[in-house]
Amino acid sequence: MASSDTANTAAAAFDPYELKDVVSGSIRDPYPKMHELRRECPVHTGPIDLGEGADIADPNRPAPVTVFGFDEVVQVLRDNGTYSSSVYEGVMGMVMGRTILQMDEPDHRIARAMVAPSFRSKVLERWEEELVAVVVNELIDSFIDRGHADLVREVTFNFPAQVIARILGLPRADYSNFQRWAIELTSVAANWERGVAASEALRAYFAGVMEERRAAPGDDLISDLVRVEVEGSTLSDEEIYSFLRLLLPAGVETTYRATGNLLLALLTDRSQFDALYNDRTLYPQAFEEALRWEPPVTVILRRAMRDTTLAGVHIEAGADIALLLGAANRDERKYTDPDRYDMFREIRQHVGFGFGVHVCLGMHLARMESRVAINTLFDRLGEFTLDPDAEVPHIAGMAFRSPLSLPVVFAAR
């Protein structure tokens, strides 16, 4: 088993596990309860208890709404006139600033158009070999001789933050500070003051980097953002800080969890592992099925802008609406045997990346990062298996879900 003294050198300056409270929640399986509530009705009003206790309803606000059905979630995300993203202005806006996540049209369309070109799959190709593969290989180098490793602690937890740092063109010496701020910002709900302090530290740090890039642009995302122009508009410094801060929770937390969930699915069903190991062209369906089966982000939010009705349920103007992506992705009205991970299932559509105008901007990057990580692990470790002497790992969490460790053994090289 891995221990802190054997943890990889690339992350040695900072052990992210110091910040364990980030790795959220102990709920192992919220899905039976979600099935039960969806069978009652795909849309519920009032507080819901999925195992962590129900939030106390504010009597001065419209009753909150929770959506459990696939079609109903898609209907909400399609109708962004009725269902607004401004709901994120509260907690998230306070630490991130005004980001595209909380904007409605037309502001959202213009702001997204400015940042979107950097995230097209064609543009990402330049990062695949020289950047993502390099990061993953370095992490693997640190344990390959040992014959065992914890793939969460030693690979998945570290690689997305390092990839983002390199995409932003940050100097290597700054990585451990950057990763610490990224995790502290992401875990703001667990520790508000620490999260706010990290947000301010990042702003000050990015201010210096942006000045340098204006003077001497490079081949990196920050240089792209300071130069971009759409329909005569450019991004203000404040908009750039906010976008960069959003990338941390949006791009780091999610990708590490998604890769861990896919690995867990493969490691606990050998036939699925063997299928992908022997035929890497199956990767797209293996990854999408992992996002359907265990989306790392299980809930997103909207706010009703007017009185409306969904699945026959009345929704009051101003009501906050929780869209349970996890429940939608396991809707038995859409999927056969929905609780099973099966990369060969016929219906592959899912809402793990959201849907509609706010659909995940980083989805091509996430897919590529995870593919490179899995392929590199396959190529270098061979047919690794779960460590028979370690506790069997499992997925945990509520709003964010993933395994906390993945102890594996392999033939040492």
Residues within the interface to ligand HEM (CB under 6 A): 100-101, 112, 246-247, 250-251, 254-255, 258, 291, 295-297, 300, 352-354, 358, 360-362, 365-366
Q: Which residues pair with 84 in a beta bridge?
A: 303
- Whichever of 44 and 358 has its CB closer to ligand HEM, that residue is 358
**CB of 37: closest distance to ligand HEM in angstroms?**
21
- Whichever of 365 and 395 has its CB closer to ligand HEM, that residue is 365
Q: Tokens 């940042």: give the residue.
A: 115
- Whichever of 251 and 393 has its CB closer to ligand HEM, that residue is 251
Tell me the residue nearest to ligand HEM as measured from the CB: 362
Q: Are strands 83-84 and 299-304 parallel, antiparallel or unpaired?
A: antiparallel
Helix (H), strand (E) at residue 244: helix 237-248
**CB of 183: closest distance to ligand HEM in angstroms?**
15
Distance CA 176, CA 174 (A): 6
- Whichever of 175 and 353 has its CB closer to ligand HEM, that residue is 353
- Whichever of 254 and 405 has its CB closer to ligand HEM, that residue is 254
**CB of 265: closest distance to ligand HEM in angstroms?**
14
**CB of 334: closest distance to ligand HEM in angstroms?**
18
**Half-sphere exposure at residue 235, Cβ-oriented, CA atoms within 13 angstroms:** 28
**CB of 374: closest distance to ligand HEM in angstroms?**
13
- Whichever of 198 and 368 has its CB closer to ligand HEM, that residue is 368
Distance CA 402, CA 26 (A): 11
**CB of 283: closest distance to ligand HEM in angstroms?**
14
Spatial neighbors of 149 by CB under 8 A, at least 6 apart, are 2, 143, 155, 407, 408, 410
**CB of 289: closest distance to ligand HEM in angstroms?**
13
Tokens of 38: 């969806």
**CB of 164: closest distance to ligand HEM in angstroms?**
6
- Whichever of 69 and 251 has its CB closer to ligand HEM, that residue is 251
- Whichever of 296 and 338 has its CB closer to ligand HEM, that residue is 296
Helix (H), strand (E) at residue 223: helix 221-227
Spatial neighbors of 80 by CB under 8 A, at least 6 apart, are 104, 105, 356, 357, 358
- Whichever of 101 and 286 has its CB closer to ligand HEM, that residue is 101
Question: Of 347, 351, 349, nearest to 360 (Cα)?
Answer: 351
Spatial neighbors of 145 by CB under 8 A, at least 6 apart, are 412, 413
User: In a 3-state reduction of DSSP, which class is residue 12?
Assistant: coil
Q: Are strands 65-67 and 320-324 parallel, antiparallel or unpaired?
A: parallel
CB atoms within 10 A of CB 117: 12
Tokens of 393: 């790992």
Omega prior to 106 cis, within 30 of 0: yes
- Whichever of 230 and 390 has its CB closer to ligand HEM, that residue is 230
Q: Which residues pair with 241 in a beta bridge?
A: none
**CB of 109: closest distance to ligand HEM in angstroms?**
9
- Whichever of 95 and 361 has its CB closer to ligand HEM, that residue is 361
CB atoms within 10 A of CB 113: 14
How does DSSP classify residue 154?
A: I
**CB of 363: closest distance to ligand HEM in angstroms?**
6
**CB of 358: closest distance to ligand HEM in angstroms?**
3
Question: Of 269, 272, 274, 262, nearest to 345 (Cα)?
Answer: 272
Q: How far apart are the first and last CA of the chain?
A: 17
